[in-house]
Amino acid sequence: MTPDAPLQEGYDEASIRTLLGGGPSTRVLVIAAHPDDETIGMGGLLKYLANVAFVHITDGAARNMRAARARGFRTREGYADARRSELQKALSRMRAAPIELLDLGTPDLDASYNLVTSSVALAGIMKRLAPAVVFTHPYEGGHPDHDSAAFSTRAALALIESAGMAEPRLMEFTSYHADGEKLAASRFLPGAPEGLGIALTGEEKDFKAEMYACYGTQKGALKHFPIGVERFRPAPVYDFTRPPHPGRLFYQNFDWGLKGAKWCRLAARAMDGLGVLQGNLAGGGLLGRLISVFSR
Ligand SMILES: [Zn+2]
């Protein structure tokens, strides 16, 4: 893959091999923050894959109930159930049923406060399923749950590495981030290598549009995510102790009580916690190893 690769028209065997290191039956684990992020990021690619497990960090329903009430739900659980059903319906369009469909049950907007728990849970899932490739979100300040998915996925990789297991290939799909005052979708933060970009064919767009249509409660939000382009890249190195970009992060446009600096403090605290845990698992001196995984 070269930086800023031009868009290729549709998925073919070569592009699938580039992304997976193998054919469509390669074991893939998709780690997404919310039900629908998998479709936004890689709905077109999902048309072709036949051996995929999904883990959603959150159940898509926030404790503040704002989105739930606006959609006519009286309980958080009711809204979470509706989102789970939409996800199942969307994924039922795939050629093979997902091998597993898990969620960690964290409320929407709470992933940042559960980084250690999520990381340990993801490591357990990775050990059990032994995926060859993991897809997740980039670290880009679009949504704190997305950034938390980026963090916890890497922390889980560090944990399985310390247990002596082979690490899967880590890839990223696009989510969204700030572009000045606006939202940028279908692309990574400016300046980052874009990896492989696909302009979906008519058939691929139809497939992805059908998946979008399953997400009735997210209709308003999904309007902001055009379906025509999907981009992927091998996961880059991040420093989770610094915000992903200078200036205002996209999620700071919302009254969620979380700023980039606070998120970074939560991440630093989780790294400490995971370092201790890893030390218990496999002997001393492992905090350094965990950090070396994070910064390599
Ligand atoms: Zn999301």
The string of pLDDT tens digits covering residues 9-46 is: 999 999 999 999 999 999 999 999 999 999 999 999 99
Answer whether 140's CB lies under 8 Å from 146's CB.
yes
Residue 265 covered by a domain: yes
pLDDT of residue 291: 47
7 CA → ligand 1 middle, Å: 24
Percent of the chain with pLDDT over 70: 91
Residue 190: which domain range? Answer: 8-269
Residue 280 covered by a domain: no
179 CA → ligand 1 middle, Å: 17
> 61-94, pLDDT tens digit by residue?
999 999 999 999 999 999 999 999 999 999 999 9
Residue 158 covered by a domain: yes
| CATH at 44 | 3.40.50.10320
291 CA → ligand 1 middle, Å: 26
Residue 153 covered by a domain: yes
Our count of domains for the chain comes to: 1
Q: Is the pLDDT of residue 295 over 70?
A: no
218 CA → ligand 1 middle, Å: 11
Q: Is the dihedral of CA 273, 112, 190, 158 positive or negative?
A: positive
Q: Is the pLDDT of residue 216 over 70?
A: yes
13 CA → ligand 1 middle, Å: 29
162 CA → ligand 1 middle, Å: 29
pLDDT of residue 181: 87
Give the mean pLDDT of 218-242.
94
CB under 8 Å to 256, separation ≥6 — which residues? 109, 144
58 CA → ligand 1 middle, Å: 9
283 CA → ligand 1 middle, Å: 36
* pLDDT class of 286 with cuts at 50, 70, 90: very low
Answer whether 158's CB lies under 8 Å from 289's CB.
yes
Q: Is the pLDDT of residue 279 over 60?
A: no
Residue 44 covered by a domain: yes
Closest CA to 45 of 201, 190, 181: 201
Residue 203 covered by a domain: yes
Closest CA to 195 of 11, 15, 12: 15
